[in-house]
Every structure is written in structure tokens, then in C-alpha cells.
Amino acid sequence: MSPTTRTINYTKWGFILGTPIAFFAFVATAATVPEFRCSIDKTAALCSEQRQNIELYTQSEAGEYLADVKIIFTAKGPPETQYTDNNGYVKLRIPTKGDVRVNLSKVGYPTQNFTINLENDQSITRIIRFTKSGQPIIEASSPTSQSPSSLPSPSSSSSPSSVPPTPTATTTEVKCEDVSRNGNNDYDYDNLISVAKRTEQPSSYFQLSASRPKSFACKIINNSGEIKLAYGLPDNSNLTRVSVKIYVDGIIRKDLVFGRGQAIRESLDIKGASGYTINFEVVPKNAEFSGDVYNLLPKP
């Protein structure tokens, strides 16, 4: 009698062995996704971390919105990647505490890097302009400070709630006094200047140097809930960088730095406040150059 020949069913054993392998591979991959990790481990540090949505609009230096910009942002956990839509728009959800490193890349442009810290600057909407130096020009503002005509609507893939709302009428009346006490006067200005290759019409200017900082103390007479501020350095400025600190009723609200060819545009929440102070200083403090800082808001 001939011995019985056994045939191995490779399909059957492949299914039996392959199923648990595929399952564990799926779990290992999914565990890198924050939402999945939080669903299985509520005590993970990432789960207890508070996050907030912010909106970025990426532009060329000439002001054209850039699509398909790769954005990598890194905080405590692994880097996360997103891309801007056809309007240069992207919404990110970042930690509310600590530095968030942001890396932007697009073919034909140098890589741009900057840092967001919502503890120091709570602006929700930021316009990021690419530069040849790789140091982007950043205009940070609250959603109410941007007119719908000045920012494109996100593409249909974006959430409708991410479109900046129509700003309310501003009727705040203030009385400001120069408290620098160093003879650094503020002068009216009627000519045009160039900031980031864009034509601006300033209303006034003052000179700034390491030995001549500038401070304004402003009393709020009629409070509508917000005050708009805008300052810039022209493209041909002698100054490299300027530090701006804004205090509302003695509490610091903004700690910003802007440089040559850059501008800051802020819509400051002053609900219930009686006054605010703005301090300008040259950065670094031992800089030898002096230059003019321009108020980019129109004359009242």
C-alpha cells in the first residue's frame, strides 16, 4: 500500500497567517494618527494638549496667492503635513501653548521657516509672503481685521466657517500722547512708500534708533471694542528689525517683530479697556542705524 500524499493548502494557510499580520500592521500605522491614539489611550500627552484652529494664506512676494504649498508644522509630537488649496489657504490645528515650527515649501521658491506661539500672538489669520531670503513676511491679524475682498474665499474643500467674517464698523476714538521724552517727534506724511513691493500711503512717520525709542500712551475715549493698528518699514529702510510691544491697561497683549520691507496690521481687542500703550525699539538694541517707522493707517 502506497503512503498517503498530503497536499499543503497554501491559500488557506496564507489567509490564516496573513490576517493577524495585516491587523497588527494596521494598528501600528494607525497608532501614529493622533485621533486614533487618543481613542485608545485617553491619558496620552497629545490628547490632553489643547489645540486651536488657525488660518494661513500663502502669497508670493508680489502678493499672488500660492496653491499647493507644502506646510509641515512641528510641536511636541511628530510633524504634521498639509497643503494649501487653489486660493493659497489652509487651516491648521496647532497647540495653544509653546512654539510651533512651521516649514513651507513650493517648487520655484526657497523654503520658508517661521514659528507660531499662540501665547505671544493670538492672531487666528496670518498672511505669509514668500521671500528670496527664506524669511517670510508675516502679517498677523484677527479674523475681523480682514475684508472679504482682501482675502480669497477658501476652495469648496475648505470649511465655510473658515471664511473671515465681514468686519464691523470701527468707531473707537482715542487720544494718544508721545511719552518717549527724547525729542523723537511724530510727523505727518503725504508721499507714497514701497513696503514688500506694494505701494502704501502712510499718514505719519517717526524716526527710530537705539538711543531714541518711541512710546505712545493712548486714552480710549469712545470704545467700540477694537482698535486697528498698522506700521511698516519701507523696502529701502536703514533699519533691519523693529520690536513692537502693545499693552492694554498695563497687560501685554502683543510682542511682535517686523523687519525691512515688512508691515504689521493688528486689530486689537480693547473691550472694557481704558487705555493702551505701544512701545517701539530697534532690534538689536545696539544697532547703529536709524530709520523711519511709518503709520500705514489713513488719516482720521
Is 67 contained in some domain?
Answer: yes
pLDDT by residue (tens digit) across 163-195?
444 334 447 888 999 998 887 888 999 999 999
Is 290 contained in some domain?
Answer: yes
Confidence band for 155, pLDDT divided at 50, 70 and 90:
low
Asked if residue 225 and residue 136 are part of one domain, the reply reads no
HEC per residue, 77-143:
CCCEEEECCCCCEEEEEEECCCCEEEEEECCCCCCEEEEECCCCCCCCEEEEECCCCCCCEEEEECH
Give the torsion sign (CA, 163, 273, 174, 230): negative
Q: How many domains does the chain have?
A: 2
Asked if residue 100 and residue 197 are part of one domain, the reply reads no
Is 44 contained in some domain?
Answer: no
Asked if residue 223 and residue 114 are part of one domain, the reply reads no
Asked if residue 282 and residue 223 are part of one domain, the reply reads yes
Asked if residue 202 and residue 113 are part of one domain, the reply reads no
Confidence band for 26, pLDDT divided at 50, 70 and 90:
low
Is 14 contained in some domain?
Answer: no
pLDDT at 37 (0 to 100): 55
Asked if residue 121 and residue 56 are part of one domain, the reply reads yes
pLDDT at 208 (0 to 100): 93
Q: What is the value of pTM for the model shown?
A: 0.47
Asked if residue 57 and residue 158 are part of one domain, the reply reads yes
Which of 162, 194, 227 delimits the end of a domain?
162
Which of 139, 162, 185 delimits the end of a domain?
162
Q: What range defines the domain where residue 131 resides?
A: 51-162
CATH number at residue 154: 2.60.40.1120
Confidence band for 147, pLDDT divided at 50, 70 and 90:
very low
pLDDT by residue (tens digit) across 204-237?
999 999 889 999 999 999 888 888 899 999 999 9
CATH number at residue 180: 2.60.120.1060
- Report the mean per-residue pLDDT for the chain: 79
Number of Cβ within 10 Å of residue 175's Cβ equals 10
Q: What are 18's three cell numbers?
A: 496573513
Lowest mean pLDDT of 41-55, 108-122, 128-142, name the range. Answer: 41-55
Asked if residue 191 and residue 152 are part of one domain, the reply reads no
Is 199 contained in some domain?
Answer: yes
